[in-house]
Amino acid sequence: MIRLKVNGASKEYTGDPAMPLLWYLRDELQLTGSKFGCGMGLCGACTVHVNGEAARSCLTPMQSASGKTIVTIEGLSANGDHPLQKAWEQHNVPQCGYCQAGQIMQAASLLKTKPKPTDQDIDQAMQGNICRCGTYQRIRAAIKTAAGVKA
């Protein structure tokens, strides 16, 4: 049996230990904010936090999530009022929106380690998250707003 915490709640999983965490979150817990993009950890649409660090849930087998704390976009803020979520809205970041949960989770991990990131910090941390709509400039501006850094 695999025990883990998801968005603050204790969970148990008895299925295939090789199943990706993404499928557990989406199919079993109905936490559909994390998206399936490429299935190879290259696009970032499935990004969640595992023990406080950004991780690609499509590549994280359930067995490696055992004993860990998982936070999804749904658990980032109970009311959807995390500074990044507010900044995303302020800067009208999403177009199609498909990648945005992963973008926000990656940005939240960045701000945890670098509360006042530079453009270079942002570009480096966000380089593995793809936005097919090309909203990268708005993403950077929103991260700076959330961090209280002048754009």
Q: pLDDT tens digits for 53-81?
A: 999 999 999 999 999 999 999 999 989 89
Residue 55 CB contacts under 8 Å (≥ 6 apart), including other chains: 47, 48, 49
pLDDT given at position 99 = 95
**Long-range own/partner contacts, residues 107-115 (CB < 8 A, 24 or more apart):** 107/139, 107/142, 107/143, 107/146, 108/49, 108/54, 108/76, 108/82, 108/84, 109/49, 109/52, 109/53, 109/54, 110/54, 110/143, 111/84, 111/143, 111/146, 111/147, 112/52, 115/147
Q: Same structural domain for residues 102 and 55?
A: no
Answer with the one of 55, 76, 97 that is the final residue of a domain: 76
Residue 138 belongs to a domain with what CATH number?
A: 1.10.150.120
Alpha-carbon distance of 138 to 8, in angstroms, equals: 31
In one letter, which amino acid is 127? Q
Tell me the pLDDT of the chain averaged across its residues. Answer: 96
Q: Same structural domain for residues 71 and 8?
A: yes
120: exposed, middle or buried (C-beta count within 10 Å: 0-12, 13-18, 19+)?
A: exposed
Q: Could you give the maximum distance between any two Cα atoms of the chain, in Å?
A: 48
Give the residues of the chain that fall short of pLDDT 70.
151
Q: Same structural domain for residues 28 and 92?
A: no
Answer with the one of 36, 56, 76 that is the final residue of a domain: 76
pLDDT given at position 17 = 98
pLDDT given at position 150 = 78
pLDDT given at position 21 = 98
Alpha-carbon distance of 123 to 10, in angstroms, equals: 35
Both structure tokens of 32: 């559909």
Q: How many CB atoms lie within 10 A of CB 63?
A: 13
pLDDT given at position 25 = 98
Residue 80 CB contacts under 8 Å (≥ 6 apart), including other chains: none
pLDDT given at position 149 = 86
Answer with the one of 76, 92, 109 that is the final residue of a domain: 76
pLDDT given at position 151 = 65
